Amino acid sequence: MTVTSAQARAELGDWHRPVADKRVSAAEAIALVRDGDHIAVGGTLYSRTPMALLFELLRAGRSGLTLSRPLACHETELFLATGAAECVVASWVGIGLRWGLSPVLRHYVENGLARYDEWSHLALGLRYKAAAMGVPFLPTRTMLGSDLVARNAAQRVSCPYSGEDLLAIPALVPDVAILHVHRADIYGNVQVDGYRHMDVDMARAARRVIVSAEEIVSPAVIKATPGATMLPHFAVDAVVEVPFGAYPHECYGLYEADFAHFDDYVALLRQHGADGARRYVESNVLAHEDFAGFLDSVGGDRLRQLARSAQELTA
């Protein structure tokens, strides 16, 4: 069980994030995650997924995890298939319609081996936002009339002023938020380009925050464009430098998602079912000592091609 928004607030009174060098290795950062934790995964679908940190988390062999994400993609399937996670909280699970329904999700949920706690996209966003605001719930007009309400924890309420029917969306305090960003300084002031997805609320909601960055930059670089800073140092516990740290997913303006990699992954699933995802983890995660080893196996030419494509698209 995760803590309440009030408990999370109180915890920060005792939890200090000094203005100190927070750079650590991926393995050291992942030591902040315990068995049974609720992990909020930054980015969404195949965009700015903290893949290097998630691969490290798979390597660490944690169990009983819950993963939450606005739109969960292939990374979440890997956690289900290896038994690391037993619950997904999301509004959508799958790579994209081009790749069909997720056979991993189907196998685990249809056979009662894992839970998929489904919320509408906005409702999940409000769960993080309520926790980020330090309040126990937020009222909304969405999801009223949806059968999702009977299956999740949302409660119907009346507005104390107007009497209108609303839904109360409960705060979600992740134990750990794991994000990948474009740049950070050593203190954990972080910036992204392009989409922010739900990263800001997710990080402010969470009890611990781990960030990987394409690049660690000097504080002067951050200060040159303070409006682009997404999170301040006191909302971040650990910073890990990982170029191409979202691969095979995209990082806005830097590299596109590798659709051919998804095709290969889905071909494995078609051939071997959920076991295909375990084979994928064997050969892409466990076979390498670290994420750099995985990127080496992909090859520099491929990565440079994805980078060129991204630059061209966002020029």
Task: Note the residues at the interface with another protein (CB under 8 A).
Answer: 44-47, 70-71, 90-94, 96-98, 101-102, 105-106, 109-110, 112, 116, 118-123, 125-126, 128-129, 140-148, 151, 156, 164-167, 194-201, 250, 252-253, 256-260, 305-306, 309-310, 312-314
Count CB neighbours of 107 within 10 A. 19
How is residue 148 written in tokens?
């999702």
* Cβ distance to another protein smaller for residue 52 or 198: 198
* Cβ distance to another protein smaller for residue 9 or 106: 106
Q: What is the C-alpha separation between 77 and 73, in angstroms, rounded?
A: 7
* Cβ distance to another protein smaller for residue 196 or 288: 196
* Minimum distance from residue 194 beta carbon to another protein (Å): 6
* Minimum distance from residue 206 beta carbon to another protein (Å): 15
The reply to whether omega before 248 is within 30° of 0 (cis) is yes
Determine whether 13 is exposed, middle or buried from the number of CB atoms within 10 Å of its CB (0-12, 13-18, 19+): exposed
* Cβ distance to another protein smaller for residue 17 or 261: 261
* Minimum distance from residue 192 beta carbon to another protein (Å): 10
Collect all residues with Cβ–Cβ distance below 8 Å to 185 and sequence separation of at least 6.
Answer: 216, 217, 218, 219, 221, 222, 233
* Minimum distance from residue 23 beta carbon to another protein (Å): 27
Choose among 105, 97, 59: nearest CA to 80.
105
* Minimum distance from residue 24 beta carbon to another protein (Å): 27
* Cβ distance to another protein smaller for residue 162 or 289: 162
* Minimum distance from residue 198 beta carbon to another protein (Å): 5
* Cβ distance to another protein smaller for residue 33 or 310: 310
Strand (E) or helix (H) holding 167: strand 165-170
| 155-158 and 38-41 beta bridge pairing | unpaired
* Minimum distance from residue 252 beta carbon to another protein (Å): 5
* Minimum distance from residue 98 beta carbon to another protein (Å): 6
* Cβ distance to another protein smaller for residue 26 or 95: 95
* Cβ distance to another protein smaller for residue 229 or 305: 305
Positive or negative, the Cα torsion across 73, 292, 265, 59? negative
How is residue 234 written in tokens?
């006191």
What end-to-end distance do the CA atoms of the chain give, in Å? 45
Count CB neighbours of 164 within 10 A. 10
Choose among 25, 76, 74, 26: nearest CA to 249.
74
Cβ pair 131, 1 in contact under 8 A: no
